Amino acid sequence: MRFTKILLACGLAGLGAAACGNDSELAPDGGAARATWYQDVAPIVANHCMSCHQDGGIAPFPLTDYEAVVENSTRMLHEIDRGAMPPFDAREEPDCSPRFSWVDDPRLTIQDKNTLRAWIEAGHPLGTVAEIPAPPSTTLSGITKTLVPSEPWVTSGDRDQFICFVLDPGNTQLEWLTGLQVRPDNDLVVHHAVITEVPPGAEHDALVAQRGIGKPFECGTATPGNFVVNVWTPGNQPMQTSSDIAVPILAGAKLVMQIHYHPANLVNAPDATAVDLRFSSVWPKRMYFVGAFGNAFQAPELLPGTSDAGTPRFLIPAGVADHRERMRITIPDLGATTDVRLFSANPHMHLIGTHISAKIERTAARGTDPKDECLANGAWNFDWQRTYQYAAPLEQLPSIAAGDVIDIECRWDNTIENPFVQRMMHAANLSAPIDVTLGEQTTNEMCLQIFGLSIPAPAEPAQRPATIELPTAFGEITVASLLRR
């Protein structure tokens, strides 16, 4: 009871921080109530908030000093409690809760939240002056090479554009990529980027002869090269892996960067998006690549939506607040590719999505894998897209094999109450919500899970070769489901 009184006294009297700090020695030992700015709260805010909330950061106001945090503390707690800050939309829900946690999960623990709450209730005690830790870096570390187009693309009009650039990493031998960061030059127009690898061979030679290096060309939604290295979406962290798992970039291979531009009538908006690469000298245990599942546009993969009459249709009617589409994708025969394990999940929808989940139904339990499990689940916020990496040992990552079914469900709110519907209407000059169908435009929707996949790397040879076999089966699934419309 004495403890409560102390908190009340601070709150009611509105005492200065130092006064409450002095009182805190009366609080029970070890309780969050003793929390001070320097000892407890600053490290939490530095670790979870300051990477964006700093001068020149992407957040609208800094939270780097005591005064700013005191001023915003109630708002901060509110945003944390409703799960909006720090932005991270993975959710553990009764219907779908993944077996593993996520790497770099920035959410506060219950203890952190209690500490912050108690500190606010105690009147923001300062504590003993100490250095505030540096916020975690959000840029790729150990960059080996940066590739930049030689010529920018200048967007125009209001139709979305798909522009490719052939980039040359200049490898003279096989290199293992463990980090990649796409850095948009003009983030008002860059909607997403897909990086593929084109190994040496006929396709490579024709591409380089026809397009040159670093020059923009229109490529539609079919990116050359079907080994997908990375998919970048706004808000994404850099792709970073340990040296145990890496993407093989073959000697002489080129990378193709396909950018989906959303010009939105911005006149003369040049963009030369850069790609940072980090190569590792270590021979990895597994190879990493990307495969997308979803965007099914018809039965049998697409199940009837909540607003369909008769045949399944990917259609989100105007005015419906909780429309759902579900698709079930059976993993085909993967040929020689065995021991395939998911490594990460990068959900993708467009503006008006609210929720996306993916489950797997295996033909049987396998090794450490249960028969059925939730692979990824979360709220959807177009502004905070990211790749979620499983925090699991490589040999325990969820496996997939022929005959397994990936079950994906997406939800949308196509009413005027959804601020993203308002944004879409504004971008497309509409006066009311419209029926939304599957497609690439910003006024279309998607329901896609872009999984990071991994297979065993070949044994390390005595001498590093120029080339190894790249699996392409998953690339084909991706391209097929996007283009069959």
* Chain positions contacting ligand HEC, by CB under 6 A: 48-49, 51-53, 58-60, 72, 75-76, 79-80, 85-87, 106, 108, 383
Neighbours of 386 (CB within 10 A): 21
Pick 73 or 161: Cβ nearer ligand HEC:
73
CB-based contacts of 286: which residues, under 8 Å, 6+ apart?
244, 245, 246, 341, 343, 394, 454, 455, 456, 457
Q: How far is the CB of 430 from ligand HEC (least distance, A)?
A: 23
Q: How far is the CB of 140 from ligand HEC (least distance, A)?
A: 16
310-to-298, 299, 319 alpha-carbon distances in Å = 12, 11, 20
Largest Cα–Cα distance of the chain, in whole Å?
80
Q: How far is the CB of 25 from ligand HEC (least distance, A)?
A: 27
Pick 49 or 167: Cβ nearer ligand HEC:
49
- The answer to whether 187 touches 232, Cβ cutoff 8 Å, is no
Amino acid, single-letter form, for residue 139: T
Pick 120 or 292: Cβ nearer ligand HEC:
120
49 vs 47: CA distance, rounded Å: 6
Pick 154 or 427: Cβ nearer ligand HEC:
427
User: Which tokens in the block code for residue 136?
Assistant: 């975690």
Pick 78 or 159: Cβ nearer ligand HEC:
78
Neighbours of 213 (CB within 10 A): 14
Q: How far is the CB of 20 from ligand HEC (least distance, A)?
A: 21
Pick 89 or 325: Cβ nearer ligand HEC:
89
CB-based contacts of 217: which residues, under 8 Å, 6+ apart?
163, 164, 165, 211
Q: How far is the CB of 448 from ligand HEC (least distance, A)?
A: 22
**Using omega within 30 degrees of 0 as the cis cutoff, is the peptide bond preceding 86 cis?**
yes
Pick 85 or 482: Cβ nearer ligand HEC:
85
Tell me the backbone φ, ψ of residue 296, rounded to 5 degrees: -65, 135
Q: How far is the CB of 319 from ligand HEC (least distance, A)?
A: 26
Q: Rounded to an integer, what is the distance from CA 378 to the centroid of its chain?
A: 11
Tell me the backbone φ, ψ of residue 14, rounded to 5 degrees: 55, 40
Q: How far is the CB of 61 from ligand HEC (least distance, A)?
A: 7
Neighbours of 131 (CB within 10 A): 7
Q: How far is the CB of 383 from ligand HEC (least distance, A)?
A: 6
Among candidates 54, 38, 52, which has minimal Cα distance to 138?
Answer: 52
Pick 106 or 200: Cβ nearer ligand HEC:
106
Q: How far is the CB of 65 from ligand HEC (least distance, A)?
A: 14
Pick 48 or 260: Cβ nearer ligand HEC:
48
User: Which tokens in the block code for residue 121?
Assistant: 């209730």
- The answer to whether 279 touches 168, Cβ cutoff 8 Å, is no
298 vs 404: CA distance, rounded Å: 19
Amino acid, single-letter form, for residue 324: R
**Using omega within 30 degrees of 0 as the cis cutoff, is the peptide bond preceding 300 cis?**
yes
Q: How far is the CB of 292 from ligand HEC (least distance, A)?
A: 24
Pick 6 or 190: Cβ nearer ligand HEC:
190
471 vs 357: CA distance, rounded Å: 26
